[in-house]
Structure formats: C-alpha cells, structure tokens
C-alpha cells in the first residue's frame, strides 16, 4: 500500500478498523498472565475466528496481533528467542483470516493488514535509562521481521510517550515507505501521562511523517470529543479514533465494559462529525460493536484535510504557534559561547550549569524560543549540544532553535529532540543546501532560510530574492511547505552600509506580502561598530515590526528592546497587545537615566533578576529545595554537602528542605503544571539525596518509619512504571517499602504482608484483563484477618472500582497515593 493509496482511501470513506483483541481472546480462553504471543500461536484457530468476525463486521484495516511482540516485552516472559517466529506467524494469522473470510463471503473488497506495534514499558532517557537509539533499534528489529512476512501498513498504538512515538516512527521510516498510523492514549485531563496534549502530538507526529495521528484506548468515545476536535483543527493528515467500550466495571468477578454496541456506534458517529475518518474499537469492543459502528457511518463523507499547514514548534508538552500577523516573538540568543569566557570554561569541563541558568533567565524574561549554539574550540560540540539540549529541556518548556555550522551536530540534535525544533540555518551554500533540507524534512523541523550562497552575501535585492526562491522551490519539492520556513532578513551594519536597514525592511515586506513566509533578523547586527547600540537596535526593531517582521534573535534581558517590541504590537493593534504591554511594563518597570547617572538596561534587568531570585529564596528556603523542584540530580549531592558543611543536620535537611520540596512537586503535579517526567525527576533527585544522607542518619538516632507498605503489580500484569514511581515516592516520605515486583500472585502478597506486618498493601494494574486480581487480593486479606489496608491504582482503575471490590482507597497517581497512605495511617482516622 502506498502513502497515496492510503490517503485516497481515507478521503473516500470512513475507514473501519477492528475492535479489541485482548479482552475478546480472554473470553475465548486466554488466561490472564500468559504470554499473549505464545497463546495466540498455540491457538491460531481462535484468533483467526475473531479476526474473521471483525471482517464480517466491516473492517477495512485489520490489526495483526503483533502488539507486544518486541524484544523488551517478550523478555518479560523469557520468549525473546521466538521474536522472529511470533511476528511472522501472527501476520500469517491475519492473512488466513482474510482468506477464509473471502472464501466464505465472496467479498473481494480491499482489506489491508496493519502491523501493530506499541510501547516497550521501558522509559527512554532522560526520564529512564533506555537510550533513544537503543529504543529505535528495538522497534526496527520488530519492524524488519514484520516486513519479511509482508504487511500493507503499520500502526503504532496505545503510546504514552511522544518520544517513544518518535522512536517507533523513525524506525519504520528508515526501513520502508509504507504508511504509518500513530495513536496515543490520554487521561481524562486531556493529556498523556507524560503531559503531551493532542495538539502537540498532532503537530509533532504529522511533521515527522506520520500518515495518520489519533487516540486509542484511553476512555469511552463519549469523552474523546475534545481530543478529536483539537487534533482535527491542526491536522493535515487523517485523524484516528479507537476508544474503549466505556470504562470497565467488575460484574460477578469479571471485567466487563458497559457500553453496548448501539450506544457505542452512536458515540462514534459523533467522533466522525468532529473530524475522525479512521475509526474502530479498543478494549471491550466486540465484532458487534464494529458492525453497528460501520453501519451507522457508512454514508458519511470524511471531512477535508487542512490544506494550510500550521507554523508551530513544540516540546514534548507544549506548542508555540507562530502567527504571520500575530504577536512579535523573541529567539533568545544568550546560549552561545562566543565572547563568554565563563561559559567557555564551564563547557570545556563538561559543566552545563551556566547553560541551564541562561535558559531559565531567558525563559522568565519572555523568550519564546531558545537558540542553542555550542560552537567553540576544545570540546566535542555534538556531545555538548546533546547534553545541553537535555538540560535546557529539563529546566524550561519552550522550543529550541538548533544552531551549528556542523551538519552532523544539527542532525544528532534533531534526532533526539522530543518535539518539533527550528534549524538555524539553511543557506544556498552547496553542502548545507543539499544535506540540510532533507534532514529538515526527515525530522519534521522548521528552518531559518539564510539568503547566502557559496559566493557570499547577495550583491543586491534581486540576487537575495533569487536565493530565497531557489531554496524555497527545493524545499517544496522535498515536501516541505512555506509554513516550515522563516527567512532571515540578513541585516548588515548601518555603520558600513547606510541602506542596510532599508534593504532588510524590503526583504521583510517581500517575504510577508508576496511569499506569505515568516521572517527573522539577528537584531544586533544593525548597530555593530556604533555607540549606544541599544537605541539603534530598538528603533530598527520598531520599523521592522511595522514592516511585518515575525521574530528576532535577541537578548531578552534588554528592557528597551523588549518594551519596544511590546509597544510596537500595541500600536499596530495586534490581538491582546494592550494587555501584554501593560503586564510587561507594570511587572518590570524600566528606569531611564541620563548624564553621569546613565545605566545600561541590561544592568537594570540583572538587578531585577537578583531581587526576584532573593524573593524566591525567601519563599522556598534554599538551593536543595530548588534542586528537587527542578529535578536537578546532577547537583543535588554537592548542594547537600554545602548544607552539611554549614552545620545543617542530616535530619534537618530531610525535614526542612527535601520533604517540603517533594510536597511542592506533588502540588505542581496535582495542578497539572508538572507531568510524569517532572514528577519522576523530582522524586529521583530526592531519593539520591536521601540515599546519600541515610548512612549519616544511622549514626544517630533513627527516625521511626511511619509505616510498612507492600507494593506489587498483580498477577498476569507485567507493567510497573506507575508502581515503581509510587514506591519511590513513598520511600522518599520515610515509609518502609517492600516492592514485590510485577506479575505477583495473590498468595505471595498475602504471605509477605503477614510476615512483614504490613500496614498497607498497594496494588497496581494497567490491563483490564488483570484488574480482577485486585478483588482476589482484597478477599484474601479479609478472609485471613489481616489488618492491612488495601489501596489500588493504575491506568484502568477507577474510584468506583475500588469501592466495588472493597478496597480501602484508590489513587490516580503517585502523589495522591502518598496522600492516601498518610490519611489511612493517621491515628485520628482509625476509629472512624
């Protein structure tokens, strides 16, 4: 199947996918906890029968049951040596289902097989320890075996991490040119566990080359409307929706999905109206659900795709939209070692703390994008670029402009960047022109078009326009669009060329009015070699914004410059400009002085920064606190040592700094300001500090543990990301944690709880097929007379389910688990 055939199919009709595999096979005899691939290969006829029923229901694209047949998942069952067999045999099962369906029905319509891939369960660096390139290889290995048997397209589904989606998509694209659908799963907050929203996912993945982007699993269809609507607004590829048949419930000891086929079909019609054109069912959806759905939407025509692409950059959790006629934007220029001796010294030592500080300061001062340039002698620029990129993305959440004169450095950064970045820059110089344009296309990046050639600066405006048009035409041929490009106005110093400003302004007007392309300038170039440069820069900036300039590479700590930009937007009547201007100047009033008292605006800004920093320190205590808040594992030990050297007792560091910090991290998480990566980073930073202090505590009087917690993922379930984080957080609060791991039998949990006299038994499950094990554990606790309280959690678990099975509590995340344990072990609650 070609990409064009896939696009034609999705624009000609509402494409019908299949329904659930796991929950339906469980009804046909697959026991919880077995290796799904082993069972399916041993019970081929049952899988064929299920898939044939989906085809009879109207399925156009059949998902081969290769969902978890990757090396990391199979290792959980000791079955990695059968990876080739599983992937090939499971594709054969789908082919056999199609053959038997056609033989029985006589239907010769086009039916396509999608090779199905999903998350590995391991977290990619820097959240986890798995290197991005190793993850790409895991997906590439599985994809190679799937291609050996022949498939029509790929689907990467039930993903939680945008970075893991990128790894899978890149792996497939580097092996073949088949269409790829990518689908993430979202919580009821409208974000993934890693904090990615639908808009950011759509923009990032379609730019990277996904042929369809969507949502699956997550919830029932009635709660997916906003997600589909948000995706469709920015989509120029088809939108996919594959929800569960409602939220699962426990009935007579079995997990059931309450949404009947007719209700499911009605809700799916609503998703089609919101813009979904590829639809199916996930957990709990049967062939009957798919049949009712297909019948209900058979006369619908897919909504047209957006022809105009959006100008936007992303991180893993945010989108920065670039509006040609919108507010003026700043690319912060400070992270550049040129002329910065201290930064150069640190970089040579492999220290990126000043890079981190510059990133935070520029972000707080209003930079919309951060330019990242590590070009200097005496370092491995590629290594330093990647280290700095991870650091900047840890401490800020604004997109990056990757800036290097070396093509391999740019590509290495784009490959690991967990979103959509900006390249600075691509010129008509032969090597950059020929190599960087394909790289921009491959990684879905935007780029700054620099109107230079191998002959140097253009001799006049006509040559500048010709260079711009040449690069633009080649970009369009490669599949890039005008919205992917920002033209550099190529500002020269007015001290050497009196028409330099006029030429730059003409370029800006030409790009906006004739080409419809965004523009950027390196602002400080205009005043090079002249005194009191800030006045020239700010005046030129006002002229340039009036001419249509989109953004500038500048230092956001310069008040005069920034205030001029806000004022220019105000005078041009841009949306919300008045509010932004008032907020800017009242929050940071600028002091202009003359004569002997003259002071540069940059110094004023630094003074304001110091005042803000002192205020923050008053509120939060010290640098140890801030390190936990920012997840700064690199510096936490040295900061703790400083406190010890200042005669701070280990117990006081924990009670006065670490505990308040992790409480604040939890509060930020609860308020959806932080997401899973920041929560993990904060918890691991605190753990590192506590592990360092623990031997010192043992020398003195021991602090009594507030309770003993047995924690486990229930039998049949091999997922442990959430469970591990809960264990880590509880340990940080001083609880004695006994982690039994994953796929733990109920009897083992009970016997350990008796032996250890556990106060709490914490259970986790991620699959609907294993959540019934939680009820079994609760029943055994009651039968055995244990006084342990049982709490449960996991992606498929709800508070109503906890009440239904008689658990003592439910938590939706790690921080709420800590709060729940505190509440349950509070003596004042014991007699309630």
Q: What is the pLDDT of residues 590-619, one digit of tens each?
A: 654 443 333 333 333 333 333 333 333 434
DSSP label at residue 82: G
Give the pLDDT confidence score for residue 607 in this predicted structure.
Answer: 37
Give the pLDDT confidence score for residue 621 in this predicted structure.
Answer: 54
**Four-way CATH pick for 325-420: 3.40.640.10, 3.90.1150.170, 3.20.20.20, 3.40.50.300:** 3.20.20.20
Answer for the pair 548, 513: CB distance below 8 angstroms, yes or no: yes
Give the pLDDT confidence score for residue 742 in this predicted structure.
Answer: 86
CA dist 790 and 802 (Å) reads 9
Mean pLDDT computed over 252-266 = 87
Two domains, one topology: 325-420 and 621-699: no
Q: Determine the number of helices (DSSP H) and then strands (DSSP E) in the chain.
A: 33, 25
CA dist 745 and 777 (Å) reads 9
* Alpha carbon 267 to chain centroid, angstroms: 28
Give the pLDDT confidence score for residue 791 in this predicted structure.
Answer: 95
Answer for the pair 700, 630: CB distance below 8 angstroms, yes or no: no
pLDDT tens-digit map of 98-122: 999 999 999 989 999 999 999 998 9
pTM, full prediction: 0.85
Answer for the pair 204, 177: CB distance below 8 angstroms, yes or no: no
Give the pLDDT confidence score for residue 655 in this predicted structure.
Answer: 83
488: tokens are 């550099």
- Flag whether 38 is marked binding: no
- Flag whether 217 is marked binding: yes
- Flag whether 35 is marked binding: no
pLDDT tens-digit map of 676-730: 788 888 888 988 998 898 888 754 445 678 899 999 999 877 777 778 888 888 8
pLDDT tens-digit map of 206-243: 999 999 999 999 789 999 999 999 999 999 999 999 99
CA dist 110 and 108 (Å) reads 7
Q: Which residues contact 775 (CB under 8 A, 6 or more apart)?
A: 250, 253, 805, 806
Answer for the pair 824, 791: CB distance below 8 angstroms, yes or no: yes
Every domain of the chain and the residues it spans:
3-297, 325-420, 621-699, 708-829
Q: Tell me which residue has tokens 């330093």.
A: 384
Give the pLDDT confidence score for residue 584 in this predicted structure.
Answer: 86
Q: What are phi and psi of 109, to 5 degrees?
A: -60, 160
CA dist 301 and 700 (Å) reads 74
Homologous superfamily of the 708-829 domain (CATH): Cobalamin-binding domain (3.40.50.280)
pLDDT tens-digit map of 44-85: 999 999 999 999 999 999 999 999 999 999 998 999 999 999
Q: Tell me which residue has tokens 């008509």.
A: 428
Please give the CATH topology (third level) of the domain spanning 3-297: TIM Barrel (3.20.20)
CA dist 14 and 274 (Å) reads 13
Answer for the pair 113, 98: CB distance below 8 angstroms, yes or no: yes
Architecture of domain 621-699: Orthogonal Bundle (1.10)
DSSP label at residue 503: H
């Amino acid at each position: 199947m070609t990409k064009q055939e896939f696009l034609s199919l999705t624009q000609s009709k509402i494409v019908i996918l299949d329904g659930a595999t796991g929950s339906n096979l469980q009804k046909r005899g697959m026991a919880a906890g077995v290796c799904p691939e082993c069972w399916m290969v041993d019970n081929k006829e049952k899988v064929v029968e299920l898939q044939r029923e989906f085809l009879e229901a109207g399925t156009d694209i059949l998902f081969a049951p290769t969902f978890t047949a990757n090396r990391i998942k199979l290792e959980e069952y000791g079955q990695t040596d059968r990876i080739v067999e599983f992937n090939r045999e499971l594709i054969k099962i789908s082919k056999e289902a199609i053959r038997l369906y056609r033989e029985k029905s006589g239907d010769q319509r086009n039916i396509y097989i999608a090779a199905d891939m999903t998350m590995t369960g391991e977290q990619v660096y820097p959240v986890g320890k798995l290197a991005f390139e190793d993850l790409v290889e895991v997906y590439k290995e599985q994809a190679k075996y799937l291609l050996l048997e022949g498939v029509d397209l790929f689907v990467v589904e039930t993903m939680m991490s945008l970075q893991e989606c990128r790894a899978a998509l890149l792996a497939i694209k580097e092996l073949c040119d088949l269409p790829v659908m990518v689908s993430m799963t979202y919580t009821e907050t409208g974000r993934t566990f890693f904090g990615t929203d639908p808009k950011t996912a759509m923009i990032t993945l379609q730019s990277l080359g996904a042929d369809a982007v969507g949502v699956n699993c997550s919830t029932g269809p009635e709660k997916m409307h906003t997600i589909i609507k948000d995706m469709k607004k920015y989509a120029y590829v088809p939108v996919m929706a594959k929800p569960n048949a409602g939220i699962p419930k426990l009935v007579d000891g079995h997990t059931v999905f309450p949404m009947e086929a007719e209700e499911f079909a009605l809700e799916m019609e609503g998703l089609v109206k919101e813009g979904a054109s590829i639809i199916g069912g996930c957990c709990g959806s049967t062939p009957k659900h798919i049949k009712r759905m297909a019948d209900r939407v058979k006369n619908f025509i897919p909504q047209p795709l957006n022809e105009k692409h959006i100008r936007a950059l992303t991180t893993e959790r945010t989108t920065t939209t670039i509006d040609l006629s919108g507010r003026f934007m700043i690319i912060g220029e400070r992270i550049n070692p040129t002329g910065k001796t201290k930064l150069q010294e640190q970089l040579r030592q492999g220290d990126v703390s000043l890079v981190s500080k510059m990133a935070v300061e520029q972000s707080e001062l209003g930079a919309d994008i951060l330019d990242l340039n590590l070009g200097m002698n005496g370092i491995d620029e590629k290594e330093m670029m990647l280290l700095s990129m991870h650091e900047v993305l840890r401490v800020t959440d604004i997109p990056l402009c990757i800036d290097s004169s070396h093509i391999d450095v740019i590509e290495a950064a784009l490959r690991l960047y967990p979103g959509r970045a900006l390249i600075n820059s691509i010129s008509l110089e032969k090597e950059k022109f020929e190599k960087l344009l394909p790289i921009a296309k491959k990684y879905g990046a935007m780029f700054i078009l620099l109107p230079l050639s191998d002959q140097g600066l253009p001799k006049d405006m006509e040559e500048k326009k010709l260079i711009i048009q040449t690069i633009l035409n080649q970009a369009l041929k490669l599949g890039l669009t005008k919205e992917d490009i920002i033209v550099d106005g190529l500002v020269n110093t007015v001290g050497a060329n009196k028409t330099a400003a006029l030429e730059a302004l003409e370029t800006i007007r030409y790009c906006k009015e004739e080409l419809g392309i965004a523009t950027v300038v390196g602002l400080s170039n205009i005043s090079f070699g002249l005194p009191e440069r800030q006045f020239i820069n700010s005046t030129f900036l006002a002229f340039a914004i009036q001419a249509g300039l989109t953004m500038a590479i500048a230092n956001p700590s310069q008040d005069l410059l920034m205030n001029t930009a806000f004022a220019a937007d105000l005078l041009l009547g841009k949306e919300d400009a008045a509010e932004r201007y008032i907020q800017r100047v009242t929050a940071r009033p600028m002091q202009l002085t003359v004569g002997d008292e003259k002071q540069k605006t940059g110094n004023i800004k630094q003074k304001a920064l110091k005042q803000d920093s002192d205020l923050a320190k008053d509120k939060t205590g010290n640098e140890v606190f801030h390190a936990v808040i920012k997840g700064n594992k690199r510096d936490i030990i040295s900061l703790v040592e400083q406190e010890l050297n200042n005669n701070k007792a280990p117990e006081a560091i924990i009670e006065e700094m670490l505990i308040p910090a992790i409480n604040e991290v939890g509060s930020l998480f609860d308020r959806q300001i932080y997401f899973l990566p920041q929560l993990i980073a904060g918890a691991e930073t605190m753990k590192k500090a506590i592990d360092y202090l623990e031997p010192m505590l043992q020398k003195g009087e021991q602090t009594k543990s507030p309770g003993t917690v047995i924690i486990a993922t229930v039998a049949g379930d091999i997922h442990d990301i959430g469970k591990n984080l809960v264990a880590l957080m509880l340990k940080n609060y001083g609880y004695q944690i006994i982690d039994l791991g994953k796929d733990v039998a109920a009897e083992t949990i009970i016997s350990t709880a008796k032996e250890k006299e556990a106060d709490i038994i914490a259970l986790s499950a991620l699959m609907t097929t294993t959540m019934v094990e939680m009820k079994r554990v609760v029943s055994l606790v009651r039968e055995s007379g244990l006084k342990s309280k049982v709490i449960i959690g996991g992606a498929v678990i709800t508070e109503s389910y906890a009440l239904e099975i008689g658990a003592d509590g439910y938590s939706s995340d790690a921080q709420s688990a800590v709060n729940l344990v505190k509440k349950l072990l509070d003596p004042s609650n014991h007699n309630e």
